[in-house]
Structure 1
Amino acid sequence: MQPSHLLLFLFLPLLLPGIWADPEEPKVLQLLHTSLFTNISSTEVFGIGFLRDIPIYTMNRVSWTINFHRPWAQQATMEGDAEKVAAHYKMALRNMIRYTHEEAPHISMDYPFVIQTHAGCALYPNGTSWSFVDIGADGRDFVAFKVERLLWVAQQRSPQAEYVSRSLNKDKSTRVFLEHLLTIFCQSHVLTLYKYGKADLERQEPPVATVFARTPSPAQLLLVCRVTGFYPRPISVAWLRDGQEVPPGPALNTSSILPNADLTYQLRSILAVTPRDGHSYACRVRHRSLGTHSLLILWENHSAAPTMGITIAITLLLIAAIAFARGIWWWKHRKGDGTRRDTQEFII
């Protein structure tokens, strides 16, 4: 698996949930960046950018050049100030690495450690927008840049986070640059990306659903509804008992939506029922690609009596078939003996 694909699977759960390719939904650009500080002189860098949940570019871990995953993303980057911003980004990355190495002894950061950055912007249909920069250290929220206040704010109650936020707030020029980057440039770039990537963003893949059962104990039956291959991400999956939707409760367990390797999604919904309770069950799936229709996959949970009757009927049919076949064989065998006896007597 290539590093860029690995990053995709690591970062997809962090993406903003429930975003549809629809004019009524926000337009979102997200950048995720990870720096592994192995020692005082060595740092490994990984980066990936998403338009909504589509990976559009990654950063080469050696040369720090941008690798485009979609031709239209490269076209969009050639418009406006995107190429200049990319050059500034490399410079800012070098400064960030140098700053982190310098400050590590003051905040008691022991090598190796990981710094992660989640940044981007979202445009909403009502004309409002939201921009963000969140930085984590070793998997925990650390500091965040509040664009509306032009301030870095500690995200944990620790001397290290307070020290770093105070230190970053001393650099006013960087804070002003971040404001421009996260508002004016980011929002303009998002609109350009959506213009060029319309076909991918409006892609719809219908879900494929199957229902099967598991029996963890004689007193319990688990009905599993597996739904996969759908895009975009938002989907509705519900269980129906005799046509009525099963409400949330301890018997119902639905997984989170997970990515597939082909950039579609999957999930499972499990309903615990009593075996042979006489009710009928169905898994109902609603998705944008289905329009006003729904997928309905039935599961018949019949009582034991019909099942036993069918089993007995099949057994009797098998016995009758075997007896009939043996009778035919015996009749042919006896007829053959009689023919041979007549022939011998004729020759004699």
Structure 2
Amino acid sequence: MLFLQFALLVVLLPGGDSKDDFQEPTSFRVIYSSSFYNPSRVQALGSAWLGELQTHGWENHTGSFIFLRPWSKGNFSSEELTEIEKLFRTFNIEFNQIFHNHASQWQLAYPFQVQLAMGCELHIGEASVGFARIAYQGSDLISIQNNSWLPSPKGGSRAQQVSGRFNLNKVFLETWHRLLTDTCPRFLLGLLDAGKADLQRQARPEAWLSTGPSPAPGHLMLVCHVSSFYPKPIWVMWMRGKKEQQGTQQSDILPNADGTWYLRKSLDVEAIEADGLSCRVRHSSLEDQDIILYWEHRSSTGWIFLAVIVPLVLLTVLAFWLRKRWTRCEPPSNLISLE
């Protein structure tokens, strides 16, 4: 039955009719982190994400989900969500207890941190892909494959011991398998359906050009700013005609306060080579109408004006000042000599 629902992805995926440049797998993942301060104190934090949008939080004291969006429950019933909460509360207790009990054996020095990432990805026309990975101090330790935990090649003997311990509980392995292969894909499809209006929102980008600090004498740092766009996938490039310019540097894509995004693309060029360059922006909200901003009016006309007009003005002012001073210093022609 689950595979019949994948036909809905064409309709439900955000930006499903956009260009190939913007298509990416749709994923739902849970991030869980336990900080072990000493043998009697541990603090757990949890969150859940639809792609790069946080949809859930985790109340550590009560073991309850925090629904951050009006549609964060998807199409699951209250009974199903309560059952999943119970599973996570049980997991939270057992997970932390295992690492406390084996801290000495696995050479885990307090304080230390253990992270878990689990979830699933949906691909159009393909089966869903479930994943679960556990890391120690940010380094991969074990991951689940084919209904069993496998040690990371870089995890050494510690990874071998941890995977062996986690594989002892066959009932829990079956629960993991069901969560990753059935529960997670169904919940993800429900989120996409319930949040469709929000997820398919489109905001057109705004773009402008500027210069950054000069990287070297005779060079310009051209900067293309793009802001206020949603969803996040976007393509921005400095071009000369139809040729992409090598050496273009992109900043991180940063969030705006209204939920839209901002980025900038920079290009270091010789000043005499700047004429003819343009910044091109493609985004799903623009359909086939790319934004193209040309630099030549700013570079050739602007710099010629500054290079020619400004020196002429300075020379005129200087000549006027020298003439006025010379006139003041010259003696009057009708002055009678006393000699």
**Structure 2 match to 1:9:** none
Find the residue that maps to 1:206 and give its secondary structure.
Answer: coil
Find the residue that maps to 1:159 and give its secondary structure.
Answer: helix
Q: Percent identity?
A: 29
What amino acid maps onto 2:86 in structure 1?
Answer: A
Alpha-carbon distance in structure 2 between the residues aligned to 1:75 and 1:285: 34
**Structure 1 match to 2:243:** 245
Alpha-carbon distance in structure 1 between the residues aligned to 2:84 and 2:102: 26
1:268-347 equivalence runs, <5 A: 268-277=264-273, 279-300=275-296, 301-302=299-300, 305-312=304-311
For each residue in 1:85-131, what CA deviation from the matched residue of structure 2 results, as whole angstroms up to 9, or x when unmatched? 11111111111111110011111000111111111111221041100
Aligned-pair CA distance for 1:299 = 1.8
Find the residue that maps to 1:76 and give its secondary structure.
Answer: coil
Structure 1: runs of 5+ lacking an equivalent: 1-18, 324-348
**Structure 2 match to 1:183:** 181
Alpha-carbon distance in structure 2 between the residues aligned to 1:60 and 1:162: 32
Aligned-pair CA distance for 1:197 = 0.7
Provide the alpha-carbon RMSD of the alignment: 2.7
Please say if residues 20 and 233 of structure 1, whose CA atoms lie closer than 8 Å, have aligned partners that are also in contact.
Answer: no
Structure 2: runs of 5+ lacking an equivalent: 1-12, 18-22, 322-339
Aligned-pair CA distance for 1:54 = 1.8
**Structure 2 match to 1:89:** 88
Please say if residues 82 and 189 of structure 1, whose CA atoms lie closer than 8 Å, have aligned partners that are also in contact.
Answer: no
Q: Is 1:151 aligned to 2:148, yes or no?
A: yes
Please say if residues 210 and 227 of structure 1, whose CA atoms lie closer than 8 Å, have aligned partners that are also in contact.
Answer: yes
More deviation in 34-43 or 119-128?
A: 119-128
Alpha-carbon distance in structure 2 between the residues aligned to 1:278 and 1:189: 51
Number of equivalences: 299
Please say if residues 277 and 302 of structure 1, whose CA atoms lie closer than 8 Å, have aligned partners that are also in contact.
Answer: no
Please say if residues 274 and 295 of structure 2, whose CA atoms lie closer than 8 Å, have aligned partners that are also in contact.
Answer: no
Find the residue that maps to 1:216 and give its secondary structure.
Answer: coil
Normalization by structure 2: what TM-score? 0.80
1:59-98 equivalence runs, <5 A: 59-74=58-73, 76-78=75-77, 81-98=80-97
Aligned-pair CA distance for 1:311 = 2.4
Please say if residues 76 and 193 of structure 1, whose CA atoms lie closer than 8 Å, have aligned partners that are also in contact.
Answer: yes
For each residue in 1:222-275, what CA deviation from the matched residue of structure 2 results, as whole angstroms up to 9, or x when unmatched? 11112233221211111122x243343xx3222343444543333221111112
Alpha-carbon distance in structure 2 between the residues aligned to 1:56 and 1:260: 18
Please say if residues 120 and 131 of structure 2, whose CA atoms lie closer than 8 Å, have aligned partners that are also in contact.
Answer: yes
Aligned-pair CA distance for 1:133 = 0.3
1:124-143 equivalence runs, <5 A: 124-143=123-142
What amino acid maps onto 1:73 in structure 2?
Answer: S
Normalization by structure 1: what TM-score? 0.78
Please say if residues 224 and 269 of structure 1, whose CA atoms lie closer than 8 Å, have aligned partners that are also in contact.
Answer: yes
Aligned-pair CA distance for 1:205 = 2.0
Q: Given the superposition, is the C-alpha separation of residues 299 and 247 from structure 1 closer, same or farther in structure 2, using an over 3 Å criterion?
A: closer
